[in-house]
Amino acid sequence: MDAEKTVPAETSPRPPTRKGSLLTAARSVSKGIVWLAGLGAAIATIIGWTQLAAAAANPYRVEYQALDRLGTGLDVAHFNAVLGSPAASMHIPGRGGEDYVERIYLQRDHIVSTVSDENDVSVQYTVLSCAPGFRPEIITPGGSVVQLNTAPLERADSSGRAPEAVHVHTHGTASTPLHVTDVMIRAGDAQSRYRGYGYGASDFCTDRVLELDAFSGPAEGLAPPSAEFRRTSPANFYVEAGDGWFLDEETMLWVVPADEKIPSGYLAEIVRG
């Protein structure tokens, strides 16, 4: 007879030890941590790409947000907190003997200037663009929008209203900029806090020299060269007047600073360079 084959007895699987269970759990946790870390890195990369794309699409986003926080009726400390310390400041006399201070803030591709009263409250505020791509949308006291470096002067204000007056300032000296300004009617209600505004085009930030005749009056009275300039040139500055402050022949002289008020090298290296 053939010898009986011995069949090994079936053995039950050994129950996992406590140590083995802990090792398995640790491996699972480790894999989970690695996966979450990878997911976090991927999300961070996507966020970074998104931020870079947003910055590329709107390189002046931070500057535009800063301008949204500015206007007349604010004190000097607020402007300094938003823009930093002014690059220049000088006292200017008022009509009634008041003492006003003009402050100039040099920013990337634009200049902000203010005129403040004896209480350090801004009564005039100006944004001057020094780069064609700098195109802030500024909400006026009347609720309309003026966007710089976009539509020509005669269509720069979304309200579509005709200006109360147009001022053309000529070069009094070699360092005085020429600018053409549309001054809007002062909104006489509490909603606008009785503030007026204007906008215009200046050759301050450019190498061009405009040759236009001095003028102050309704747009219909402009000489043909000035009228053509207004039809074809976009606004590159915005000015706002506080309650009790009027935009006229005298105060408009402070809208755009003269060259001697700007620290040496700024226009050459940053604006005109």
Say what the alpha-carbon torsion angle 250, 179, 181, 233 is, to the nearest 10 degrees.
180
Is the pLDDT at 47 greater than 90, yes or no?
A: no
Residue from 251, 253, 135, 242 nearest 202 by CA: 253
- The phi, psi pair for 115, rounded to 5°, reads -120, 125
Q: Show Cβ contacts of residue 130 under 8 Å, excluding neighbours closer than 6 positions.
A: 109, 110, 111, 205, 236, 270, 271
Is the pLDDT at 99 greater than 90, yes or no?
A: no
CA angle 139, 124, 59 (to 5 degrees): 45
Strand duo 99-107 + 110-116: pairing: antiparallel
Query: Taking the model in full, what pTM does it have?
Result: 0.74
Mean pLDDT of all residues in 46-50: 51
Cα separation of 191 and 183, whole Å? 19
* pLDDT at residue 10 in the model: 52
- Cβ atoms of 109 and 250 within 8 Å: the answer is no
Is the pLDDT at 50 greater than 50, yes or no?
A: no
Say what the alpha-carbon torsion angle 80, 82, 86, 92 is, to the nearest 10 degrees.
-70
Cα separation of 176 and 215, whole Å? 16
Cα separation of 183 and 188, whole Å? 15
Tens digits of per-residue pLDDT, 203-248? Answer: 876 666 677 888 888 989 999 988 998 999 899 999 998 887 877 7
- Cβ atoms of 137 and 145 within 8 Å: the answer is yes
Q: What is the chain's mean pLDDT, rounded?
A: 77
